[in-house]
Amino acid sequence: MPSAEPRDTLTTLNQVPWMPIITLIGWVVFGATFYVTTQRTLAEDKTAIERILTTREKMVDTYNTQFRQLNDTVIEQTRSNALRFQAEDSRIDNLEKNMNRLEQRIEQMLQALDAQYNALNDHLRSHGAAGVPRR
């Protein structure tokens, strides 16, 4: 009987439908390989995405810092210009006031000179000097 056992096993093995089993094993191996490689690729992609996001965050922080500095500079220049414009406006107002006072003073001096000129001419005419024009 011992010789019948290996024959029975061989007969049983020959009766098993090996094609579907081999196909099933192939699909299981393919699935396991696909899963492992996909997980590895996803892990690498996740690391790459994290590096990209970190770099992007640093760039955004740098841009925000530069924008704040630029904004502060513009605000400070605007304040400085406003103060300069106020000072210039004040100087222009003072110049206009001084010009008006100077014009009034010149007008007064001209009137005084005209009065003196006319008084001198009247005096000269009264003493007989003829042909002295009046102003």
Q: Is residue 1 part of a domain?
A: no
Residue 1 is predicted with a pLDDT of 43
What is the value of pTM for the model shown? 0.47
Q: Is residue 100 part of a domain?
A: yes
Spatial distance between the Cα atoms of 99 and 105, rounded to a whole number of angstroms: 10
Spatial CB neighbours of 118, under 8 Å, sequence gap ≥ 6: 134, 135
What is residue 16's DSSP assignment? S
110 burial (CB, 10 Å; 0-12 / 13-18 / 19+) is exposed
Q: Is 11 within the bounds of a domain?
A: no
Residue 97 in domain? yes
For residue 108, is it within any domain?
yes
Tell me the residue range of the domain where 22 lies. Answer: 18-126
Count: domains in the chain: 1
135 domain residue, yes or no: no
pLDDT in tens, 20-60: 888 999 999 999 999 999 999 999 999 999 999 999 999 99
pLDDT in tens, 47-58: 999 999 999 999
